Amino acid sequence: MTTDTNTKAKLKLKELEEFRNVLNKASEQFCWAMDFTSFPQIQEWCEKCLDVIEEAKDQVENEADYIDSRLADFDFDLFQFCSENEVVVD
């Protein structure tokens, strides 16, 4: 059960990283659009999109940090448990 949960957590980390890459590409595109336009309305729309992208990037980062931390805690606890309950055979 725990392994399945950890596998899902690792998959989510991978997908969060891929989504972060999508957000970064979108951000680059909106920055490019802001640079080329001479119309204030287009710049305003780009700024709004960039604000939403930045908020999403922050949320993705927080979620990834949380999952990564929980996986590290699990690995540490598992190592400690294994060390304390090691079966010694003579």
What pLDDT, on the 0 to 100 scale, is given for residue 89?
A: 85
**Domain annotation covers residue 67:** yes
The per-type count for the chain, helices as H runs and strands as E runs, is 2, 0
Q: What is the pLDDT of residues 52-67, one digit of tens each?
A: 999 999 999 999 999 9
d(CA 38, CA 49): 17
Mean pLDDT of the chain: 93
Which pLDDT score, from 0 to 100, does residue 23 have? 98
Task: Name the residue range of residue 34's domain.
Answer: 2-84
Kindly state whether residue 90 falls inside one of the protein's structural domains. no
Give domain status of residue 40, yes or no: yes
Give pTM, 2 decimals. Answer: 0.81
Q: Assign residue 15 the CATH number of its domain.
A: 1.10.287
Q: At residue 1, does pLDDT exceed 60?
A: no
What pLDDT does 3 receive? 67
Number of separate domains in the chain = 1
